[in-house]
């Protein structure tokens, strides 16, 4: 178990917990977080380096309990697990939607450190729900904003804004994380343009270590083969943007 | 010519490694991936009459010597699972349907449905240590094991395998009861009932408190159980518990197992564990002059009456 170093608000019902520990995590990987007596769930790493951290939205009982934790409180952390993003090329286009910005933010920082130039579209329902906008700018990325209601930047989906940016520039690779319908659209854009894509997916996860089959997508596992998949895998996923497994292992519509 | 093929109750396996129930076997597509990686047969997740979400998390505890799990028999229910069996069958390897239930009639009914769905054999989960009213709770007495096997045998035509619990003082008597009830083979062992406590939290880690221990730590127990069962019954034994190398499999085979199952080894080695175990087995057999796996079954009993 690890002591919490800090817990801060990063938006409406969105908080970040950090630790005095590197955990040797890389962007795109995740940890299993245990709130004793309440629940255990997967969390994307949103800060790498000496003080790793994760960012979450308060949604249910587990995250509500997590939000009440103070510095010094102990929570269980196992991991990091899974395959993260890799920096491929000099000109990168990144598309992040909503909480999908959590694993993307440390990747943007990593890519800039590797001297790649990054153009990023950050999308959210409204301006108040944009995550890590300043952080991406401070890292050195060229930031574009899309909101569903037009309260800031482009009015519409992040994928639509990304489509118009793709017409103007040339990119070596694309990266995305966010709602799965958005990921499916970005995959279509990337494959039409012939640009390689890495996307981070989410599924119901129980073990986190590749044994229980609950996070299966077309015979692969988000916890061990992912969460970041390349376009080769993504194009073969018939369930992408369409179906996922519920807690009983029944296929349900997304 | 040295070969790895085995015949278990009429099921022809290209090699003796079988995917154990509960690991990467909830969806047909995943089971196909496991078969493609080299498994000789697949046992499905244990399936019940109704959809079940299983236990809340945490459901696993990772240890340096094994894994404790308390998944709690999550499954989509038999009705839904038929389509997963159909998908798994595309792999071409035998599919063994695992079932669990709260009574002999329920287990017999599920076994028949499993047969109708296309399963090549049925494995009876009489041994899960972390689901109230099921598994080991009804599989710990020889009388119930015999009764369940008899009911299932009457209801089905495919071979039935009884998976036994090691959480008993006398697993050989459970095996004898299964044989008497008409089981075609026994599978040993399921996980050992276990617990892990987080000292800082002052509580067991698993939400279910109790779980089942698997992996390298249980292998000596499993090998001992198979050895005892071999001396007690005539039906084939399938050995399972902590196998991740050819030598591990050899221990079970020489103790009396005609085939082996691998579960937790998938966690430590990945899906490559099947090909690895098979390569190492073949290498040992060629070096030591064994033509088939069958030539090695139970040889550790030599010199005993």
Question: Domain limits of chain A?
Answer: 2-81, 91-253
Q: Residue B10 — pLDDT band, cuts 50, 70, 90?
A: very high
Can you give the C-alpha Rg of chain B in angstroms? 18
C-beta separation of B112 from B155 below 8 A: yes
What residues in A contact B51, CB-CB < 8 Å? 248, 250
* Chain A: residue whose CA lies nearest to B60: A207
Inter-chain residue contact B54 with A247, CB threshold 8 Å: yes
End-to-end alpha-carbon separation of chain A, Å?
34
Strands A91-97 vs A2-3: parallel, antiparallel or unpaired: unpaired
pLDDT of residue A61: 93
Instruction: Report which secondary-structure segment, H or E, holds A32.
Output: strand A30-35
For residue A245, the chain B residues in CB contact (below 8 A) are 26-27
Cβ of residue B26 closer than 8 Å to a chain A Cβ:
yes
- The answer to whether the CB atoms of B201 and A1 lie below 8 A apart is yes
Distance of residue B301 Cα from the nearest chain A Cα, in angstroms:
34
**Contact assignment for A249 to B74 by CB distance below 8 Å:** yes
Identify the pLDDT of residue B132. 77
Which helix or strand (DSSP H or E) is residue B161 part of? strand B160-163
Backbone phi and psi for residue B251, each to the nearest 5 degrees, phi listed first: -60, -50
CA distances in angstroms from A183 to A202, B8, B95, B181, B233, listed in the order given: 11, 46, 35, 54, 56
- Considering only CB atoms, which chain A residues are within 8 Å of B207? 39-40
Nearest to B267 among A34, A210, A246 (CB): A210
Confidence band of B304 (pLDDT split at 50, 70, 90): low
Are the C-beta atoms of residues B259 and B238 closer than 8 Å to each other?
yes
Gap between the Cα atoms of B270 and A221, Å rounded:
12
Distance set, CA B280 to CA B17, B52, B239, B249, B293 (Å): 12, 39, 17, 9, 12
Answer yes or no: are the C-beta atoms of B104 and B124 closer than 8 Å.
no
What are phi and psi for residue B300, nearest 5 degrees?
A: -70, -5
Distance of CA B134 to the CA centre of its chain: 16
On the 0-12 / 13-18 / 19+ scale of CB atoms within 10 A, B277 is buried
> B252-271: per-residue pLDDT in tens?
999 999 999 999 999 999 99
Choose, out of B47, B50, B54, B60, the residue to mutate when testing the contact with A (most A CBs < 10 Å): B60
Q: Binning pLDDT at 50, 70 and 90, where does residue B249 land? A: very high
Cβ separation of A248 and B76 shorter than 8 Å?
yes
- Cα pseudo-dihedral A218, B262, A39, B205, rounded to 10: -170
Cis peptide before A227 (omega within 30 of 0): yes
How many Cβ atoms are within 10 Å of A245's Cβ, its own excluded? 21
Residue of A nearest to B21 (CA): A212
Of the partner residues B80, B198, B266, the one whose CB lies closest to the CB of residue A211: B266
Q: 3-class DSSP state for residue A165?
A: helix
Q: Which of B25, B51, B60 sits opposite A213 (nearest CB)?
A: B25
User: What domains are defined for chain B?
Assistant: 6-301 (3.20.20.70)
| CATH class of residue range A91-253 | alpha beta
Query: To the nearest whole angstrom, how far is the Cα of B23 from the nearest Cα of chain A?
Result: 5
Question: d(Cα B121, Cα B141) in Å, to the nearest integer?
Answer: 23
Distances (CA, A) of A215 to A62, A219, B25: 19, 10, 12
Q: How does the average pLDDT of chain B come out, rounded?
A: 96
Residues of chain B contacting A210 with CB distance shorter than 8 Å: 24, 266-267, 270
- Are B25 and B87 in contact by the 8 Å Cβ rule? The answer is no
A237: closest chain B residue by CA: B29
- Alpha helix locations (H) across chain B? 28-36, 78-89, 104-117, 136-139, 142-155, 171-181, 219-230, 246-255, 264-269, 273-288
- Listed by number, the residues of chain B in 87-146 with a beta carbon closer than 8 Å to a beta carbon of chain A are none
Q: Chain A: give the shortest CA distance to residue B232, in Å.
A: 33
Distances (CA, A) of B83 to A92, B88, B107, B110, B248: 42, 9, 20, 15, 34
B305 pLDDT higher than 60: no
Instruction: Say if the Cβ atoms of A219 and B29 lie within 8 Å.
Output: yes
Please indicate whether, in this complex, the C-beta atoms of A76 and B201 are within 8 angstroms of each other.
yes
Q: Which residues have CB under 8 Å from B137's CB, separation 6+?
A: B131
| Angle between helix B246-255 and B219-230 (nearest 10) | 30
Could you read off the pLDDT of B196-223 as tens digits, one per residue? 999 999 999 999 999 999 999 999 999 9
Which residue in B has a C-alpha nearest to residue A207's C-alpha?
B60
Question: Does the beta carbon of B58 lie under 8 angstroms from any beta carbon of chain A?
Answer: yes
> What is the least distance, in Å, from the CA of A75 to any CA of chain B?
9
- According to DSSP H, which parts of chain A are helical? 61-67, 101-113, 133-139, 158-168, 180-193, 231-236
Per-residue exposure over A133-167, b if at least 16 CB sit within 10 Å of its own CB, e if not: bebbeebebebbbbbeeeebbbeebbbbbbbebbe
* Residues of B annotated as part of the active site: 128
How many residue pairs bridge chain A and chain B with CB atoms within 8 Å of each other? 111
- The gap from C-alpha A45 to its chain's centroid, in whole angstroms, comes to 8
pLDDT tens digits along B77-118 = 999 999 999 999 999 999 999 999 999 999 999 999 999 999
pTM given for the model: 0.95
Residue B136 is predicted with a pLDDT of 78
Are B273 and B264 within 8 A, CB to CB? no
Dihedral sign computed on CA atoms, order A56, A61, A65, A68 = positive
Check if the beta carbon of residue B69 is closer than 8 Å to that of residue A207.
yes
Nearest-CA neighbor of A90 among A121, A122, A105, A112? A112
Do the strands B237-240 and B257-262 form a parallel or antiparallel pair, or are they unpaired? parallel
Please tell me if residue B294 touches chain A, with a CB cutoff of 8 Å: no
Return d(Cα A227, Cα A221) in angstroms, integer: 8
- Can you name the residues that pair with B77 across neighbouring β-strands? none
Task: Return the CATH number of the domain spanning residue range A2-81.
Answer: 2.40.30.10
Distance CA B5, CA B40 (A): 9
Q: Which residue of A has its CA nearest to B270?
A: A210
Residue A55 pairs in a beta bridge with A16
Nearest CA to CA, how far is A98 from chain B (Å)? 26
Chain A residues with beta carbon closer than 8 angstroms to that of B204: none
Task: Tell me whether residues B201 and A37 touch, CB distance under 8 A.
Answer: yes
Q: Please state, in angstroms and rounded to a whole number, the distance separating the CA atoms of residues B126 and B24.
A: 20
Which pairing describes strands A251-253 and B6-8: parallel, antiparallel, or unpaired?
unpaired
| A209 interaction partners in chain B (CB closer than 8 Å) | 60, 62, 267
Q: Which residues of chain A have pLDDT under 50?
A: none
């Amino acid at each position: 178990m690890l002591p919490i170093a800090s817990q801060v608000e990063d938006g409406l019902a969105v908080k970040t917990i950090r630790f005095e520990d590197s955990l040797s995590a890389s962007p795109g990987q995740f940890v299993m977080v245990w709130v004793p007596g309440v629940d255990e769930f997967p969390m994307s790493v949103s800060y790498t380096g000496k003080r790793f951290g994760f960012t979450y939205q308060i949604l249910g009982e587990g995250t509500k309990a997590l939000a009440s934790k103070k510095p010094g409180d102990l929570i269980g952390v196992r991991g990091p697990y899974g395959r993260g993003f890799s920096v491929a090329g000099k000109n990168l286009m990144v598309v992040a939607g909503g909480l999908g910005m959590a694993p993307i933010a440390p990747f943007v920082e990593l890519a800039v450190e590797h001297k790649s130039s990054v153009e990023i579209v950050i999308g959210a329902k409204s301006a108040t729900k944009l995550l890590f906008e300043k952080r991406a700018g401070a890292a050195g990325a060229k930031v574009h904003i899309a909101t569903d209601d037009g309260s800031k930047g482009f009015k519409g989906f992040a994928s639509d804004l990304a489509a118009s940016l793709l017409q103007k520039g040339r990119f070596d690779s694309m990266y995305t994380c966010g709602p799965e319908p958005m990921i499916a659209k970005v995959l279509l854009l990337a494959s039409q343009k012939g640009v390689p894509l890495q996307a981070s997916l989410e599924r119901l996860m129980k073990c986190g270590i590749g044994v229980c089959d609950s996070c299966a997508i077309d015979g692969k596992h988000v916890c061990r083969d992912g969460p970041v998949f390349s376009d080769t895998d993504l194009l073969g996923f018939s369930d992408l943007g369409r179906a996922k497994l519920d807690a009983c292992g029944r296929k349900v519509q997304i | 010519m040295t070969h790895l093929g085995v015949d278990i109750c009429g099921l022809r396996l290209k090699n003796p490694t079988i995917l154990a129930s509960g690991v990467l076997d909830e969806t047909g597509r995943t089971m196909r991936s496991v078969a493609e990686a080299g498994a000789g047969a697949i046992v499905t997740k244990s399936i019940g009459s109704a959809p079940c979400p299983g236990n809340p998390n945490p459901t696993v505890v990772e240890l340096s010597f094994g894994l404790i799990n308390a998944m709690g028999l999550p499954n989509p229910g038999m009705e839904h699972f038929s389509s997963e069996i159909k998908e798994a069958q595309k792999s071409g390897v035998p599919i063994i349907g695992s079932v669990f239930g709260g009574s002999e009639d329920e287990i017999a009914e599920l076994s028949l449905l499993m047969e109708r769905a296309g399963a090549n054999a049925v494995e009876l989960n009489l041994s899960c240590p972390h689901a109230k009213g099921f598994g080991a709770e009804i599989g710990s007495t020889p009388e119930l094991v015999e009764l369940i096997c008899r009911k299932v045998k009457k209801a089905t035509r495919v071979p039935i395998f009884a998976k036994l619990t090691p959480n008993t003082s006398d697993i050989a008597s459970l095996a004898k009861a299964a044989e008497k009830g008409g089981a075609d083979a026994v599978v040993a062992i399921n996980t050992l009932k276990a617990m892990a406590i987080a000292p800082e939290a002052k509580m067991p880690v698993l939400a279910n408190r109790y779980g089942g221990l698997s992996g390298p730590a249980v292998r000596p127990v499993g090998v001992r159980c198979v050895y005892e069962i071999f001396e007690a019954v005539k039906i084939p034994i399938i050995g399972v518990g902590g196998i991740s190398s050819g030598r591990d499999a050899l221990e079970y085979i020489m103790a009396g197992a005609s085939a082996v199952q691998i579960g937790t080894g998938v966690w430590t080695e990945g899906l490559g564990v099947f090909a690895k175990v098979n390569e190492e087995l073949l290498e040992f057999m060629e070096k030591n002059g064994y033509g088939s796996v069958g030539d090695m079954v139970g040889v550790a009993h030599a010199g005993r009456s």
